[in-house]
């Protein structure tokens, strides 16, 4: 399986069972994950973005024997952020970037976001956009972070048809026709980390083609086993299950490889 949504380093607000990379890698391997796209929890609050990305790349090289694939952070509210995009591509040889507009304080109709997509297209980078990191009810009272408003995305993607976008942790706030419109707006895929309810993936497939769905666990903030259970409690069949767990993510990576 390919897990498109894991994070390394430490969650800022509490310790997690697998927040040490060797332990996380071991759990992923036991579950049958052969590749995992990794961002960094440090990306949320650290202003030294290049330091975050450098440590992430090193951690992925050091652990997992190629299992971990680093996706660097870019914060377009900071000076010279365009250089971070270049470094992700040219220095760290990353295949994509992971964005946190909620923690970094910008909206998706901001001109910087449109410029960021343009640069990602230029460098053939997959763009992962985290809609939220945790349930608002569990947030620290001094760090209340609203989920990203994705409503501007349809218009933005109309001008960036070549962008490859993956929405992470989206289903708590992006539902129904909004999901369908986004899937139809461009090359947009969705992970299943926050898809809830029994038979949740089957319900999601009524709104989004299964070829746009990706296996994402949001580990270690979420239990990996929770994502695995989502696969079991939906009647998918082997063809669709393999598409969601392997083929769709592999196709995205191959289409953006240089």
Q: Which of 174, 126, 166 is nearest to 150 (CA)?
A: 174
Encoded tokens for 145: 């972070």
Whole-angstrom Cα distance, residue 250 to residue 245? 9
Q: Are 245 and 209 in contact (CB under 8 A)?
A: no
Domain boundaries, the chain: 2-255
Please give the biggest Cα pair distance in the chain.
Answer: 48
Fold adopted by 2-255: TIM Barrel (3.20.20)
Neighbours of 236 (CB within 10 A): 21
In the chain, alpha helices (H): 21-30, 49-62, 81-90, 101-104, 111-122, 153-158, 177-185, 200-205, 224-232, 237-242, 248-255
Q: Are 126 and 117 in contact (CB under 8 A)?
A: no
Task: Quote the pTM value.
Answer: 0.95
Spell out the per-residue pLDDT of the chain, length 258, in tens: 999 999 999 999 999 999 999 999 999 999 999 999 999 999 999 999 999 999 999 999 999 899 999 999 999 999 999 999 999 999 999 999 999 999 999 999 999 999 999 999 999 999 999 999 999 889 999 999 999 999 999 999 999 999 999 999 999 999 899 999 999 999 999 999 999 877 899 999 999 999 999 999 999 999 999 999 999 988 899 999 999 999 999 998 877 664
Residues near 234 by beta carbon (within 8 Å), at least 6 away in sequence: 199, 200, 201, 202
Helix (H, G, I), strand (E, B) or coil at 1: coil
- Res 257: pLDDT: 61
- Res 258: pLDDT: 46
Whole-angstrom Cα distance, residue 191 to residue 86? 26
Sheet of 68-70: strand order equals 2-8, 35-40, 68-70
Omega prior to 220 cis, within 30 of 0: yes
Q: Are 189 and 167 in contact (CB under 8 A)?
A: yes
Whole-angstrom Cα distance, residue 62 to residue 124? 25
């Amino acid at each position: 399986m390919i897990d498109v949504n894991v994070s390394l380093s430490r969650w800022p607000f509490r310790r997690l069972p697998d927040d040490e990379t060797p332990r996380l890698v071991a759990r992923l391997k036991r579950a049958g994950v052969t590749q995992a796209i990794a961002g960094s929890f440090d990306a949320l609050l650290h202003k030294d973005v290049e330091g975050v990305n450098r440590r992430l790349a090193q951690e992925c090289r050091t652990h997992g024997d190629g299992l971990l694939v680093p996706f660097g952070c870019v914060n377009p509210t900071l000076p010279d952020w365009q250089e971070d995009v270049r470094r992700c591509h040219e220095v760290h040889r990353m295949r994509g970037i992971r964005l946190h507009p909620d923690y970094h304080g910008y909206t998706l109709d901001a001109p910087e976001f449109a410029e960021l997509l343009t640069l990602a297209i230029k460098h053939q980078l997959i763009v992962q956009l985290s809609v939220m990191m945790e349930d608002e009810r569990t947030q620290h009272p001094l760090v209340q972070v609203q989920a990203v408003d994705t409503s501007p995305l349809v218009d933005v993607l109309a001008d960036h048809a070549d962008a490859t976008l993956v929405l992470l942790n989206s289903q708590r706030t992006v539902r129904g026709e909004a999901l369908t419109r986004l899937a139809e707006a461009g090359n947009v895929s969705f992970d299943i980390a926050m898809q809830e309810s029994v038979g949740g993936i089957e319900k999601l497939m009524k709104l989004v083609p299964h070829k746009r769905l990706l296996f994402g666990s949001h580990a270690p903030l979420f239990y990996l086993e929770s994502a695995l259970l989502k696969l079991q409690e939906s009647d998918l069949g082997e063809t669709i299950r393999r598409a969601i767990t392997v083929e769709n993510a592999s196709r995205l990576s191959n289409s953006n490889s240089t």
